[in-house]
Amino acid sequence: MATKSLKGRVHQLAESTRQLDFLKNGIFAPGGLLPTFEEKIKQSQSLPLRPKTLEILQMNLGYMCNQVCAHCHVDAGPDRKEMMSRKTLEKCLQILEKSPVSTLDLTGGAPEMHPDFRWFVAEASKIGVADFIVRSNLTILRANKKYYDLPDFFKAHRIHVVSSLPFYKKEKTDRQRGEGVFSQSVKALQMLNKVGYGMPGSGLQLDLVYNPSGAFLPANQQALENDFKKALKQDFDIDFNQLFTITNLPISRFLEYLIASENYEEYMQRLVDAFNPEAIANVMCTNTLSISWDGFLYDCDFNQMLDLKVVSPVQHLDDFDLDQLQNREICISQHCYGCTAGAGSSCQGAVV
């Protein structure tokens, strides 16, 4: 398993243009084996794809992370130094005050590693969004003593914690996320439970994110949630609220894995075969705006990693104008098949 990001390894797929070239050519070239995503949604009368009411503001605080997961769409890792400036964080607060969003979603990398993380959470929680999410990789809570009090900090600000845990057993988790990640994740979940997260009646929401540990789609979200709840309770006395299933999108390090393991064509075929027209109506890019560390705007975190900025005269926080942004067409490519396969996929799990 790699210990550096694609960027750190100077891998050709570190360049978003190379990824997009890959997704546009080969099996998706004109006259190729598979229809492009644009052709596919045209058949279901969903083109152009346009935003609905903005509900979720997702801020990517930076790409630094204490883990180097094999499937990471961000290409995050300890060697990534991109980080949102204080000025951009302040700008986000100003926009948050004026906008009608009901959900603020902080992601990364490991957002907790940002030096202004606690300051920002405290300021943003004063504004009072209905649902304030922090996406935590769990192991960061155990990575250093300075993070040990994060469960209490989250509790104090009524943060909704959404944590990655690809499986309820060690082997699959460690193969995807790194040796020792499962045992540290279990300890972190126990720390969160201890302050009340995931416990009945506490009002402290703790959700887990499952993504397949390989070139296959997630199963039924409810069935997997039942399996996770039973196993984590029985083996580790862990409670949580909901499980979100997320399909791995063929970009960045997951794309690297698909190509290296010769699974790319079959995986894309599987995504195309599983295209669900019902899912397209609820894809997250229709109610989300993603903000990158340097203040640019994207339809989703995946488009951010492919550097597909919003197709709008407004592309940066400095020029933020919600009315103009709402008139845009959502930028699509073949990676979008990941969000429309089967029961669909989003940062909030299945969409159908």
- Residue numbers at the binding site for other proteins (CB under 8 A): 167, 169, 171-172, 212, 214, 216-220, 223-224, 227, 273
CB of 266 to other proteins, least distance (A): 9
Is 87 or 230 the residue whose CB approaches other proteins more closely? 230
Supply the minimum distance, in Å, between the C-beta of residue 345 and other proteins.
13
Distances (CA, A) of 341 to 217, 270, 327: 8, 8, 26
Comparing CA positions, the residue from 86, 144, 159 lying closest to residue 120 is 86
Q: How far is the CB of 176 from other proteins (least distance, A)?
A: 13
Q: What DSSP character marks residue 247? A: P
Minimum CB distance to other proteins smaller for 139 or for 213: 213
CA-CA distance, 64 to 117, in Å (whole number)?
Answer: 13
Nearer to other proteins, 235 or 273 (CB): 273
Q: Which is nearer to other proteins, 151 or 218 (CB)?
A: 218
Where b means 16+ CB within 10 Å and e means fewer, 149-176 reads ebbebbbeeebbbbbbbbbbeeeebbbb
Q: At its nearest, how many Å lie between other proteins and the CB of residue 173?
A: 11
In the complex, minimum distance from the CB of residue 272 to other proteins, in angstroms, rounded to a whole number: 12
Rounded Cα gap, residues 246 and 345, in angstroms: 5
CB 298 → other proteins: shortest distance, Å?
A: 29
Looking at the Cβ atoms of 157 and 170, the one nearer to other proteins is 170
116 vs 227, which CB is nearer to other proteins?
A: 227
Q: How far is CA 11 from CA 81, 139, 246, 291, in A?
A: 17, 26, 26, 25
Look at phi and psi of residue 331 and say left if phi exceeds 0, alpha if psi is from -120 to 50, else beta: beta
* The two structure tokens encoding residue 79: 């060697």
